[in-house]
Amino acid sequence: MAIFNLKKREIECKIVYYGPGRCGKTTNLEYIFKSYKKQVTGEMVSINTEGDRTLFFDFLPMGLGKIKDCDIRVQLYTVPGQIKYSSTRKLVLRGVDGIVFVADSLEVRRQKNMISLKDLQTNLKEYGKSIFKIPLVIQHNKRDLADEGIPLMTIEQMERDLNRQLKVPSFPGSAVKGTGVGVTLKACLMETLKSLQREFKWAK
Amino acid sequence: MDINLQIKSLLSEAELYRSQGLFSEAKDKYHAASAMIHKIDRLKNKDSLLKAISGKIQSLEEKTAKVETGPGSPELSKKGQNLIKSLFGENDMQQAVALAKFGQFERAIVELTALLKDDVYRVDAGKNIIRCKMAIASVDDAIDQYNQWYSGDLFTVSQLETIRTYLQPILDKKGIDKPLPVPVNERAELNATADSGGIEFSMPEPEEEILDISSIGITFTSGSQKGKMVEFDVNFQSGKMLSLIISKNDKGLIDDLKDGDELEEIQFYSPIAMFKGMAVIASKTQIKTGPKQGDFCLDLKITST
Ligand SMILES: Nc1nc2c(ncn2[C@@H]2O[C@H](COP(=O)(O)OP(=O)(O)OP(=O)(O)O)[C@@H](O)[C@H]2O)c(=O)[nH]1
Ligand SMILES: [Mg+2]
């Protein structure tokens, strides 16, 4: 849960990048770390295992400066996508304020996207949260691979698979190239701050 | 499409999946390519092509095995562990537990052992030490630890009994037939030996089995927060009593609550289950001194689950 210090007018919120293994969550954070030097307030920490797969989480602290006279700090996390790290995913999700679901556009990963979204729903539920209510945005990642003739799903198909009921903001992206990374994060932060405003009325 | 082109595109797909760590997808494409090559009768370097592909498949299989048998939770550097502590726990107890949750058992045991000195944390620290010992070493180590505490005088009788009633069912469930010695207070022991007629002496009431609750979500049914659910971490638990430390900055959330209030809609989160229940506010006090000065301590008694 977001930490408020209304007297000092500070808010710290937690954004988690979720999605199937190898979809590009860590790559998103790496790009943010490289490109938003002004907003990044500390080192990016990655705890990895064999083959650069995330083992526990990646962590990146950011500061957005003042919004409505309130100092906004953000902690970005990724979860490990590999199926077997289910309990770690749940641990990292604890107290989350907003989520970026990174979907893999590769046709061969269609099923994995859906399984991961379902897993997200289950884990949120265990914390008493609803996937329909939590601030959430979707990124359709790896769109750059279309140019290399690799079979990708169309955006329409991915929206049908993942976003038919949720109807959350979604963006095409290429985390390696950096396209769509910023807008995705910004949209997620907007949704999150809006929701925290509804709940806690921090911006007077 | 020309068959040569088809093979070429399968191979480049396979190569891309491999480079992204999608090993099983890569393997499927190599197999498909190899099946297609087999069907072509007149292909110049057919054999060497097939051999190269099977080499790729083999190396993918080795990589897959490596990933699958990769360590579940390796020991992290001290810096990594400190980060886990600061990100996943607010007080000393939560930080030590966070280490254990991320598999950093050795360090967790060190920190939990230090917490044994603190009367407030002692029982929880003890239980978690037992948990860690079972995770890294063996049930025998956990039993040894219990016996060591049993013969020492760190724990009071009722504290030790709480630990026993935690560990014994675990042993029973594992089919380990080792009854742990039941702590009794000296008075009772004396009575028992004095009166060898076999009169039952009083034993500490075993606490009713209640799960360890790590956090709760309170849905407010009246007041300014009506209809909202707010999550709080449980800082300390003793049986059905939960203590929450609520930062003075969150005072607004609990303004409407007062001693004796019934909370009818509470979601309890424990590491192994989630359940709904009710609780009553036993006390709400503002902490007067120390680092948490100004914060609130809210004691809840679980009334039904
Ligand atoms: N072409 C392309 N490759 C990408 C893109 N995003 C990520 N990748 C590649 O996909 C692979 C996996 O990326 P990661 O960022 O490690 O994926 P992850 O989601 O963190 O994976 P886990 O930690 O295992 O859950 C790497 O080889 C990346 O270079 C993208 O937008 N385009
Ligand atoms: Mg990763």
| B245 occurs within a structural domain | yes
* Among B46, B68, B90, residue at a domain's last position: B68
Q: At what angle do helices B139-151 and B122-136 cross, to 10 degrees?
A: 150
Mutate to test the pocket of ligand 1, among A22, A152, A181 (most ligand atoms within 8 A of CB): A22
| B271 occurs within a structural domain | yes
Same domain, B88 and B160: yes
| B19 occurs within a structural domain | yes
Given an 8 Å threshold on Cβ–Cβ distance, is B12 in contact with A52?
Answer: no
Ordered by where they begin, the domains of chain A are 9-199 (3.40.50.300)
| Residue A142 CA to its chain's centroid (Å) | 15
Instruction: Average the pLDDT over B110-138 and give the result.
Output: 91
pLDDT in tens, B51-76: 999 999 999 999 999 888 766 667 88
* Among B68, B101, B116, residue at a domain's last position: B68
Same domain, B161 and B255: no
A58: which residues sit within 8 A by CB, 6+ positions away? Answer: A25, A26, A29, A44, A45, A46, A47, A76, A77, A78
pLDDT of residue B206: 36
Q: Is the alpha carbon torsion for A62, A64, A65, A70 positive or negative? A: negative
| B254 occurs within a structural domain | yes
* Among B68, B89, B110, residue at a domain's last position: B68
Nearest Cα neighbor of B82 from A87, A47, A86, A90 is: A47
Quickly tell me which residue has 């279309």 as its tokens.
Answer: A146
- C-alpha B125/C-alpha B115 separation (Å) is 6
pLDDT of residue A200: 78
Ligand 1 centre and the CA of A181: distance in Å?
13
| B210 occurs within a structural domain | no
- List residues of chain A with CB under 8 Å from any CB of chain B: 1, 3-7, 21-22, 45, 47, 49-53, 55-56, 59, 75, 82, 88, 91, 94-95, 106, 108-109, 126-128, 145, 148-151, 199
How many residue pairs from chains A and B have C-beta atoms closer than 8 A? 77
pLDDT in tens, B230-252: 888 887 777 787 888 888 888 88
Kindly calculate the radius of gyration of chain A based on its CA atoms and give it in whole angstroms.
Answer: 16
Which percentage of chain B shows pLDDT scores above 70? 88
Q: Which residues are found with C-beta within 5 Å of the ion, ligand 2?
A: A 25-26, 54
| B205 occurs within a structural domain | no
Spatial contact of A194 and A135, defined as CB atoms under 8 Å apart: yes
Same domain, B95 and B54: no
Query: Contacts of residue A56 in chain B, CB cutoff 8 Å?
Result: 84, 102
Same domain, B102 and B182: yes
Q: Is the Cβ of B78 closer than 8 Å to some Cβ of chain A?
A: no
Nearest Cα neighbor of A102 from A73, A80, A126, A87 is: A80
Same domain, B232 and B162: no
Ligand 1 centre and the CA of A112: distance in Å?
14
Same domain, B177 and B283: no
Same domain, B62 and B82: no
Q: Residue B36's domain spans which residues?
A: 3-68
pLDDT of residue B271: 65
B126: pLDDT confidence band, cut at 50, 70 and 90?
Answer: very high
Chain B, residues 28-47, CB within 8 A of chain A, namely 28
pLDDT in tens, B81-102: 999 999 998 899 999 999 998 8
- Spans in chain A with pLDDT lower than 70: 1, 6, 204
Ligand 1 centre and the CA of B15: distance in Å?
15
Same domain, B152 and B86: yes
| B203 occurs within a structural domain | no
Same domain, B91 and B131: yes
Element holding A14 (H helix, E strand): strand A10-18
Same domain, B30 and B62: yes
Establish whether this prediction's ipTM goes over 0.90: yes
pLDDT in tens, B249-297: 888 888 888 888 888 888 887 766 677 888 888 888 887 766 677 888 8
pLDDT of residue B209: 53
Among A144-158, B110-124, B138-152, B277-291, where is mean pLDDT lowest? B277-291
- DSSP bridge partners of A76: A15, A60
Atom of ligand 1 nearest to the CA of A173: 31
pLDDT of residue B1: 63
pLDDT of residue B204: 35
| B207 occurs within a structural domain | no
> Which CATH number fits the domain that encloses residue B247?
2.40.10.220
- For chain B, how many structural domains are there in total? 3
Same domain, B171 and B275: no
Query: Contacts of residue B17 in chain A, CB cutoff 8 Å?
Result: 106, 108
